[in-house]
Structure 1
Amino acid sequence: MKLERIINSLLEQDMYKFSMGQAIYHQFPDYKTTWTFKCRNKDVKFTEEMVQEIKDQIKAFCEIRFTEDELEYLNNIKWIKGSYVDFLRLWEPRYEDFEITTDAECGLSIETRGTWLNTSMYEIPTLAIVNEVYFRMAYDYNELIESFKEKLEEKYENLKTGRWHIGTFSEFGLRRRLSAEAQEMAVDKFSHLNDTLHSSSTFVGTSNVYLAKKNNLKPVGTMAHEWIMCTGQGNHKHNPAYSNWYALNAWVHEYGILNGTALTDTITTDCFLRDFQLTFSTLFSGVRHDSGDPIEWGEKMISHYESLGIDPNTKTLLFSDSLDFERADKIFRHFMGKAKVAFGIGTYLANDTKVPPLNIVMKTTLCNGQDVAKISDVEGKGMCKNEEYVDYLNRCIKWRMDHEK
């Protein structure tokens, strides 16, 4: 291993992995999944030296265990249950679940296979490792971190002085970060935003549980697309056009009214709204936007709440799709007074330098031996190895939308 260890704690994980992990442990412990890495940048090439470093870093990650102090921190989160904490006390990552080769156009292929309980927990650390290895080995890292600091300072000053007004926001950049150093720098910087009387925006937390613990911030995150894909499409008996119903029902079974931000675009928001009727709309505290036009989406959600007799001002619209402060400012001003608005901002806070960030993902491609897919509100964000299954899923959704009243 040529670089210093990149992942140093099993809390270096997005909060929604623990939220989903607990529900997986209690309801789907025998589900098996395959995850596949993809680099969407056409001009990026991972060298053999980088791939070896990624292997070494993932091996090092697999040697880490939770400390009692970390487990106690998780145990004090309102919706985390003692049975899940006891499971995490025994849990350990398995390097045997990884297959890492150079057999890909970008020079890096990664697949993980095993129980959903295990493989779900690999996605975020793996992406964080790939990012940091790439930027430290492909560029002069010292130059990158200096440009990051300059941009970070400029963002902070503009937010503090009120150039942008975005209400409440969180940092969501772990999987996309330039480095652990850069993410910690951003979280530390914005945690002081609330100290100033000048800022009209409030920094409420980070998805990185380790940094939330370290900085006494709120760990932020509920569910990801994998939750809807696997609960809805991983059971061979389910009609996948009802994936959202199965996912929301299982979530309420686990959490009741707690920890309730629903993700809308796994099989299109329009299909989601067929299942997000009065009970779910009442129980969930809000919804998260991750694809498509944010203004159109927000107006659609407000209309939906109003049609059910729910005051949209009692619900949160959480925006998390490719945001910067300028875009967030426009969204916030549009919805001010119409609903609660919050933002989860990733790459812009954790990897904004003089060079373009990587566009890398790691997605669930199989669950219990069968294909799963995401059909988001825009093309290009889905990922599935079997085009026939994507066609089948689209036809299921279309039939439901055309025939169900």
Structure 2
Amino acid sequence: MDIATRVYNHKWKIDPIVRSLIDTDFYKLLMCQSVFRNRPETDVTFSLINRSTHIPLADLIDEGELREQLDHIRSLRLSRGESTWLRGNTFYGKRQMFRPDFMEWFEGLQLPPYHLERKGDQYELMFEGKWHEVMLWEISALAVLMELRSRAVINDMRRFELQVLYARAMTRVWEKIERLRGIDGLSIADFGTRRRHSFLWQDWCVQAMMEGLGKSFTGTSNCLIAMRREVEAIGTNAHELPMVYSALAKGDGALAQAPYDVLSDWHDEHDGNLRIILPDTYGTKGFLDHAPDWLAGWTGIRIDSGDPASGAEIAIDWWKNRGEDPTQKRVIFSDGLDVDKIAELHAQFAGRVNVSFGWGTLLTNDFRGFVPGDGLAPFSLVCKAVSANGNPTVKLSDNPEKAMGPKDQIERYKRVFGVGEQQAIEVVV
């Protein structure tokens, strides 16, 4: 596929940014089924949050075009082929990962309405409704904003300029892949949907990883690409679950217990599969220090904030203190990775644990330095659940730069979860 020509000639009705309800991350569908079963009456609000406020999204992106893309997403329905894939495929060695009642609901789903308003040079974009319906807006909304920003920057480029741009980007990706080939025992997946340059570019990156890395490439988080390219769909759960469960908790005792209630429900939902802990929502060390013994038997831990090496050391010490063998466990690194950090972490922890990587934005959106003013450089855009049944959500993270929620509630959560001073780390993506 000639991406440059496709970009040059595209019209959104032919080449929409989001082309399927399964053009989303696998963990979203897994979480959605869990919420559908365990918390179907919960009302939530999701909101777009641009952490990189120097990027004036409302100045770059035409509001009419944004609405067209969002309205198009609301017109999507699950196709027969997509439904067949979800119902019949084997995921993580398990057939019928998605239950018939969930699939029947999903097959009839139309995403709920959105609220869009310009506020200065940014957009306020919000989604309100039942949790299992609203949550599926998150990845689609991010993909639309990220790609519309890319399109705005390259809109005036002509054919040969675009060809050179994508040739340089392809070369950069392939050079990264060639460096990764030299890492013995590498295990790496594409986690780049939410802040990708475009769907076409993510699809190209996945194909490049398939060819360049062979068995070291374990799959993609993007369900549509996984289905089309016949690779594994990769993912488990995210911060959204403990954030909403915690917002619903009544009293400090219930709040302290909420992150473990999430994983108890998750264990019941998946019959002991997909046992990866994401411990950093309210601080990794405190979460593990107070974790029930049954969690020590889970398969592994995903590290998504703070200093990744410190997080891995905390996990290894925790497993040892709980009588578990760390060499039989898995640590998945997934925060802001690029080749240098992947190589460094693999060298440090290979042999001590089973090391895996979820490579995101700097795989699927690394156009840094390719246009004047660096206008295609990736930036930090998120779409988070900000309230549940009228209560604000809170995230502390292992990096205070990623904390979110009302100030008074952040202080309360720090007290309840015993979070002290934290090291601030610059958030790039």
TM-score of the alignment, normalized to the shorter chain, above 0.5: yes
2:286 is equivalent to residue 268 of structure 1: no
Q: Is the 8 A contact 2:247 2:387 kept in 1?
A: no
Question: Could you tell me how far apart the structure 2 residues matched to 1:293 and 1:166 are?
Answer: 23
The amino acid of 1:45's aligned partner reads P
Q: From the superposition, tell whether residues 375 and 213 of structure 1 become closer, same or farther in structure 2 (CA, over 3 Å).
A: same
Question: Could you tell me how far apart the structure 2 residues matched to 1:49 and 1:320 are?
Answer: 29
Aligned to 1:232, what secondary structure does the other structure show? helix
Q: How many residue pairs get matched?
A: 388
Aligned to 1:239, what secondary structure does the other structure show? helix
> Which aligned segments of 4 or more residues in structure 1 are displaced greater than 4 angstroms?
none
2:417 is equivalent to residue 390 of structure 1: no
Aligned to 2:277, what secondary structure does the other structure show? strand
Q: Is the 8 A contact 1:186 1:350 kept in 2?
A: yes
Alignment partner, residue 7 of structure 2: none
The TM-score normalised by the length of structure 1 is 0.91
Alignment partner, residue 350 of structure 2: 336
15, 24, 42: which one pairs with 1:31?
42
2:313 is equivalent to residue 299 of structure 1: yes
Aligned to 2:274, what secondary structure does the other structure show? coil
- Following superposition, the deviation at residue 42 of structure 1 comes to 3.2
96, 111, 119: which one pairs with 1:103?
119
The amino acid of 2:116's aligned partner reads I
The correspondence of residues 60-71 of structure 1 with structure 2, limited to 5 A, is 60-71=72-83
Q: Deviations over 1:27-46 (max 9, x none)?
A: 10011111111112232112
2:99 is equivalent to residue 81 of structure 1: yes
Alignment partner, residue 125 of structure 1: 140
The correspondence of residues 150-165 of structure 1 with structure 2, limited to 5 A, is 150-160=171-181, 162=182, 164-165=183-184
Q: From the superposition, tell whether residues 83 and 274 of structure 1 become closer, same or farther in structure 2 (CA, over 3 Å).
A: farther
- Following superposition, the deviation at residue 51 of structure 1 comes to 2.6
State percent identity of aligned pairs.
26
Question: Could you tell me how far apart the structure 2 residues matched to 1:236 and 1:68 are?
Answer: 42
6, 23, 33: which one pairs with 1:22?
33
Question: Could you tell me how far apart the structure 2 residues matched to 1:69 and 1:330 are?
Answer: 41
- Following superposition, the deviation at residue 145 of structure 1 comes to 3.0
The TM-score normalised by the length of structure 2 is 0.86
The correspondence of residues 313-392 of structure 1 with structure 2, limited to 5 A, is 313-353=327-367, 354=370, 355=374, 356-384=377-405, 386-392=406-412
Aligned to 1:373, what secondary structure does the other structure show? coil
Question: Could you tell me how far apart the structure 2 residues matched to 1:348 and 1:399 are?
Answer: 30
Question: Could you tell me how far apart the structure 1 residues matched to 2:242 and 2:221 are?
Answer: 20
The correspondence of residues 245-260 of structure 1 with structure 2, limited to 5 A, is 245-260=260-275
Q: Is the 8 A contact 1:48 1:102 kept in 2?
A: no
Q: Is the 8 A contact 2:282 2:419 kept in 1?
A: no
Gaps of 5+ in 1: 196-200, 401-405
The amino acid of 2:16's aligned partner reads R
Question: Which is further off, 67-76 or 120-129?
Answer: 67-76
CA RMSD, 1 decimal? 2.0
Aligned to 2:358, what secondary structure does the other structure show? strand
2:177 is equivalent to residue 177 of structure 1: no
- Following superposition, the deviation at residue 217 of structure 1 comes to 0.8
Q: Deviations over 1:79-124 (max 9, x none)?
A: 3222211221121212x2x1111114x4211111111111110000
Question: Could you tell me how far apart the structure 1 residues matched to 2:60 and 2:151 are?
Answer: 15
Aligned to 1:174, what secondary structure does the other structure show? coil
Question: Could you tell me how far apart the structure 1 residues matched to 2:337 and 2:226 are?
Answer: 21
Aligned to 2:122, what secondary structure does the other structure show? coil
- Following superposition, the deviation at residue 63 of structure 1 comes to 0.3
Q: Is the 8 A contact 2:177 2:213 kept in 1?
A: no
Q: Deviations over 1:38-61 (max 9, x none)?
A: 112232112275232111101001
258, 263, 268: which one pairs with 1:243?
258
